[in-house]
Structure 1
Amino acid sequence: MDLHRAINDIAAGLAETDIAGARAYRLDDRDRQRVAAFMRGLNRTAPLKFNHPGLATNAMRDGPRLIIQNDLGTTDAHVLIVQIEGQDDAPRLSVLHSDIHRQRLEFFQNRLPALTWTQSSRQLPGSEQGQFTLATGILQAADLPALDAALETLGASLVFLIDWNKARKSLRHFVSGPAAVALLHWAADHEYGHRAYLEAGGETMIGDLLDTVSQLTGGSYGTMQRALGQDGTMAFLREALRTSSEALRNGQSPPAIRDMLQAELMTRVASMADRILDDAIDHAALILDLGSLVHAALLGNVPDLLAAAARAQR
């Protein structure tokens, strides 16, 4: 990894040109079009990383291959290298991606279903993690427009890997592991991301909101699912991801985000209480109806007892 970073520094120093933010050298016109497609996607979503480092891109030609490499961050063995060959007749895209978190790697692969993936585990000497997974994705594109579309999708997906595991662990305070991953996919699908949610306070903010709403309403919820139910919790967390992203990108502060989400949680808790009350009223009406039926039967005012019994059972 030290050698890898040293080579990156040399590559950046050799850059001859800048293509939408990518430092590049030895590229021809076709190479520039491919790099521009990759950077189109990356630049569209890169603001979602906010102040986090990462996503610096180098591009170079090495013999028959165009190589695009992205700095995903500072984590050991978290590397992305893109290779493109055969731009004349059979364009081929290869993506090499290594990660210490297998779940994050699987998340990334699911973002790119058009690629065929293989993976293997490797040891990482001198690191606390000890092991990482290396994945290779291959796409034999039908033509150059299809290749450019895949490169744009690839570039747009990278920001959602930054602090992914931290966000997953944060969301797991409120929902199951698979549900947390589903929330991260939803945030990526809608290009909200999860970094704003973490910037706004993550699980600490949500926990404080639940405590505040409990005090204001006189309830004692304990957990988000007790306050809103499973579906309601998922809906509120989606709203937290969306609101945090949009507000932070619009220049609003974390305290302002907290106020908006407090109002949202208050509304949802009140709505949940109203639904419970509606169920209780319906239940009371059924008990009254059943009691009236029994009373009439005891007084001999029910002509068909079997039909009345069937109705009571229903």
Structure 2
Amino acid sequence: MEKVDALATLGQDELLKPARVKAALAANDRLKLYLSVLQAAGERADKADAPPLDLSCELAAAGVNAPWLANLPAAAYREGRTLHIPELARLAGLLREDLHTMARPLEGDADFDTRLAHWTGWVDGLAPNELSPEQLHALVSGKRGKNDSVHLLIMDLHKALNRMAARLSSENIDGAHVWQLDEADRPRVAAFMRGVNATRALKLDHPGLDTAATRDGVRLLLQNDIGTNDAHVLVIQVEDLHVSLTYSDLHRRRFDFFRTLLEAVGAEWTEPRARVTAGLNAGDAYYVGVATFACADEELLGAVLEGIGERIVFLIDWNRARKRLELFVGRPAALEVLTEAARRRIGHMSWLTAGGEKLVFGAMEALGPDYFHLGDRLDDVMGAERAVEFLLDAFALATKAMQQHQPAALIADDTRLLLARYMSRHDEFDLLAEHAAYCHALAEGLRDALAHGHERDREAARSFAERAKDWERRADQLVMDARARAEARPRWTGFARLVEGADDVADALEEAAFLLCLIAAGHHHGWRGEVHQSMRLLADAVLGAVQDHVKALAIARSFGEGSCAEDHEEFVAALWRVLNAERQSDILLREVRRALAEHVSDAATLQLSTDFAQALEAATDALLATGYGLRRLAFSRAGAGE
């Protein structure tokens, strides 16, 4: 006599409930498998050329060893509207049996008793090998409306069983409802719950993360309640030192997101398969995949379970957060924000709860039309990289504030200040400074090229010319960015003109790099001695002028009410050094021409060398003009006039 039967004869029905619930939940897995088989049979009959559905993982997970069941969809066909399914009578018998098993713990519930009697009788009345479209719909439909279905009965029984399981659990391990565990299971459940509880607070008051655990033969089973939709499921099986996680999700992008998170703890995933089940996800596909973890020892197994547990919270309301983020950045950047927020353990729920997109729109509006116009996205104004950084800081700000129970109005104010700080770091002088950095790289590269004799090294000169061209292109892009911003924001007009002038510096220096490449290709005769020395002095003067330009920009960006007389004096001094460098370059250019006339007789070398020196000197002319424009702009910003 089985232990369950012995307990029944003693009238100890309460002791039977955990075992019956466990059997009912196993029947639920099998029933969902049967419905998937029927659904697949209908789809296969409609599309005979479709690839056969591989149900091997589902069969194994449900503990069903029935090759005939796996092969059933391939044998289905239609004749008119009728779907012919060999072995349907056999499948119907399994449906009826597992419906009774699943409902047994809930005996006495009048509604379930009535629905069970109706549907088991209905299944008994099916023809042996055929279904009408209406009968297939009555079996697999999960859509709620006027009519009930077998699938709806299974869904409702499952929810009632989960509630009963929570009440019946023989003990609670750190928040997990557990029953019939072996002693070795308890530290494993505790490890999983350490992870869940480490990040649980990030979900705030949102439902979810309830965990149930039990033993099924040689396997420990863990199930976590992610959400309310039946197509969003996470089940973990632990056998010896092997962990298997089955995950299904309505959204492919969220599936890929979770896959990425679990790969950090060693997950190896099967390729997710798209499924379509009537009544789930509005008839659209959902995705199912299995992750496996091979653990060398018990310590590593505990770390894997903990790692899985702490990442589940980031699935809650993930898709809603993604959609909100795409109002401000492109889809790849939105996914980057969510992934990095999970990695940093700040998540997205606090930001959503505190207002989400309203926080950012409010901050953009508060800065006004000088920074943002109606319809602007953050990445259009700030650039994608800076926008991602801002959103992550906004997530962190909201998370900290919600944990400290700060009011939503204060979080909105802090978000406005945060955006203001980002925009102050991303003002017009940022663009000018970035352009100046490319000019500095060009001037320094030319100085170093001459110091290392690249005029005689064809390969080194060619390599530097390629880098110089790339820097010049990037500088050109900054000019185009400034022009585009000036079209939308009048306050950018003066800066756009200034960076246009500064671009003449980059153009002249890139031209010099190109000419040096030509000189190195065999036109460097006579460069040794005085010619080379005078060229180096000219390059040194150009580099010094660019360095003073960079310094003047750094001082000018701080001008305002907080600037002092010393700042103004140092700014003027830097600009005077640029002026002196331009005058010195004029003199040095003449020295180069004299040296070339004395030491170079080859016509090509003479022309290329002269052009090279003139390009260097032209850079200082452009720097001087830029310096005058910077002086006017900076003093107007400081309120000092000219």
What amino acid does structure 1 have at the position aligned with 2:430? R
Residues 297 and 85 from structure 1, CA distance in 2 versus in 1: closer, same or farther, beyond 3 angstroms? closer
Q: 2:250 and 2:230 mapped to 1: Cα distance?
A: 8
Post-superposition, which runs of at least 4 consecutive aligned residues in structure 1 deviate over 6 A? 292-299
Residue 294 of structure 1, CA deviation: 10
Q: 1:57 and 1:220 mapped to 2: Cα distance?
A: 46
- Name the structure 1 match of 2:273: 120
Residue 282 of structure 1, CA deviation: 7.1
- Name the structure 2 match of 1:110: 260
Q: 1:124 and 1:282 mapped to 2: Cα distance?
A: 59
Pick the aligned partner of 1:133 from 280, 287, 291: 287
- Name the structure 2 match of 1:150: 304
Contact map agreement 1:100 1:129 (CA 8 A) in 2: no
Aligned residue pairs, count = 308
Residues 104-146 of structure 1 deviation map (CA, whole Å, 9 limit, x = unaligned): 1111111111122112222222231432111111112111111
Residues 5 and 283 from structure 1, CA distance in 2 versus in 1: closer, same or farther, beyond 3 angstroms? same
Q: 2:236 and 2:386 mapped to 1: Cα distance?
A: 40
Q: How does 1:291-306 map to 2 (within 5 A)?
A: 302-303=590-591, 304=593, 305-306=610-611
Identify unmatched segments of 5+ residues in structure 1.
none
Residues 126 and 282 from structure 1, CA distance in 2 versus in 1: closer, same or farther, beyond 3 angstroms? closer
What amino acid does structure 2 have at the position aligned with 1:248? M
Q: How does 1:235-246 map to 2 (within 5 A)?
A: 235-246=389-400
- 1:83 matches 2:388: no
User: Which structure has the larger Rg?
Assistant: 2
Higher relative contact order (CA 8 A, sep 6+): 1
| % identical equivalent positions | 36
- Name the structure 1 match of 2:349: 195
Of residues 248-257 and 160-169 in structure 1, the stretch that sits farther from structure 2 once superposed is 248-257
Residues 180 and 124 from structure 1, CA distance in 2 versus in 1: closer, same or farther, beyond 3 angstroms? same
Of residues 4-13 and 91-100 in structure 1, the stretch that sits farther from structure 2 once superposed is 4-13
Identify unmatched segments of 5+ residues in structure 2.
1-154, 436-494, 509-578, 594-609, 620-642
Contact map agreement 1:116 1:138 (CA 8 A) in 2: yes
Contact map agreement 1:93 1:139 (CA 8 A) in 2: yes
Pick the aligned partner of 1:233 from 381, 384, 387: 387
Structure with greater proportional strand content: 1
Residues 34 and 295 from structure 1, CA distance in 2 versus in 1: closer, same or farther, beyond 3 angstroms? closer
- Name the structure 2 match of 1:276: 431
For the residue of structure 2 that corresponds to 1:175, the secondary structure is coil
- Name the structure 1 match of 2:250: 100
RMSD of Structure 2 on Structure 1 (CA)? 2.9
- 1:55 matches 2:223: no
For the residue of structure 1 that corresponds to 2:229, the secondary structure is coil
Residues 285 and 141 from structure 1, CA distance in 2 versus in 1: closer, same or farther, beyond 3 angstroms? closer
Residue 16 of structure 1, CA deviation: 0.4
Contact map agreement 2:362 2:416 (CA 8 A) in 1: no
Structure with greater proportional helix content: 2
Q: 1:175 and 1:46 mapped to 2: Cα distance?
A: 28
Contact map agreement 1:121 1:134 (CA 8 A) in 2: yes
Q: 1:150 and 1:302 mapped to 2: Cα distance?
A: 73
Contact map agreement 1:227 1:269 (CA 8 A) in 2: no
TM-score relative to the length of structure 2: 0.45
TM-score relative to the length of structure 1: 0.89
For the residue of structure 1 that corresponds to 2:212, the secondary structure is strand
Q: 2:371 and 2:336 mapped to 1: Cα distance?
A: 29
